Amino acid sequence: MQPWGAGPLFDFQRSGGAPAPVLLSVPHAGRCYTPEIIAWARVPEQTLWRLEDRYADLLIEDLVARGFPALVAQVPRAVIDLNRDPRDIDVKLVGAVPRGQPLIQSVKQRGGLGLFPRSLPRCGDLWRGVISWEEAHSRITLAHEPYHATLEQEAELLRHSHGEVLLVDVHSMPPLPPFASGLSRADVVIGDRFGTSASRTLVELACSVIAAHGYVAALNHPYPGSYLIERHGKPESGRHALQIEISRDLYLDDQMESPGPGLGRVRTMVTQLVEELGRELGGRHWSEAAE
């Protein structure tokens, strides 16, 4: 067992044959902190929870029970962010990066939230020291690479069987401020990388289902989607990907630490959303085949 990861680093869940060509991903669901990680942190464990999409995995439980395949992270985002480019390495946190190692510096990394989160607003640095390159490399090869390899494999199996596939990447977000004075805030943000990761038809359907449940949907602002849907969303090849950000206060308690009274309603919305997207994608394929 790695000192930074206890047990399985992610779970692939499926209760039966997929009822539609939709694959689910919850890359920030992990909340299993080893004693070594907690001891290395210079902040309380509860501060590390702020990095999580806390209990977002509960939002897809009904879908998994109905046979939709889902990849759910167990390794915490504090250890490695599965929704970041593996080159997005913060040299302030990772020591002795080999010469010639390809690196990028994203806007998120400059704010402390690269592949290995370094800091959070209003609390400063998270860790007591740097990560060795050997440990950083092991996190990439044991967690990041197999997570994305599994997504690619499962998506390709669905695409091969159905002609097209949709990856739905499930996240949660802090409550957003209102759009403007006197206007409502966005409850759910759909990200499609500004029209590049999924069919427009799927995006419009997603927004309409969200609205039908009484929630306010926004598109791409402030979350257009990150590395995961950019990597796996190739609509020209029949592989669509959408990111869904859901406001945490809709399904967590007032402290945003535990499941709250709104969980059932949000889970119902997410279930219908995915089922409707699956029907649209499957129906479109068979319609085209008939033609």
pLDDT digits over 174-189, tens only?
Answer: 999 997 777 789 999 9
Beta bridge partners of 25: 71, 169
Q: Is pLDDT above 50 for 275? A: yes
Confirm whether pTM is higher than 0.85: yes
- Reported as a single tens digit per residue, the pLDDT across 9-24 is 999 998 777 899 999 9
Q: Which of 96, 149, 136 is nearest to 2 (CA)?
A: 136
Domain that holds residue 188: 10-290
**In angstroms, how far is the first alpha carbon of the chain from the final one?**
54
Tokens describing residue 223: 């979350």
Q: Do the domain assignments include residue 3?
A: no
CATH number at residue 125: 3.40.630.40
Q: Do the domain assignments include residue 176?
A: yes
Q: Do the domain assignments include residue 216?
A: yes
Q: Do the domain assignments include residue 203?
A: yes
**DSSP assigned state of 240:** E
Q: Do the domain assignments include residue 5?
A: no
Q: Which of 10, 21, 271, 55 is nearest to 160 (CA)?
A: 21
- Angle at which helix 263-290 crosses helix 145-162, to 10 degrees, equals 50
Number of domains in the chain: 1
Q: Do the domain assignments include residue 114?
A: yes
For the chain, helix (H) and strand (E) counts, in that order, are 9, 11
Q: Do the domain assignments include residue 2?
A: no
Kindly indicate the confidence band of residue 233, based on its pLDDT and cuts at 50, 70 and 90.
Answer: very high
Q: Contact, 55 vs 251, CB < 8 A? A: yes
Tokens describing residue 108: 């998120």
- Reported as a single tens digit per residue, the pLDDT across 98-122 is 999 999 999 999 999 999 999 999 8
Q: Do the domain assignments include residue 183?
A: yes
> What letters, b where the CB count within 10 A reaches 16 and e where it falls short, cover 157-181?
ebbeebbbbbbbbbbbbeebeeeee
pLDDT at 246: 98
Q: If DSSP codes are grouped into helix, strand and coil, which group holds residue 242? A: strand
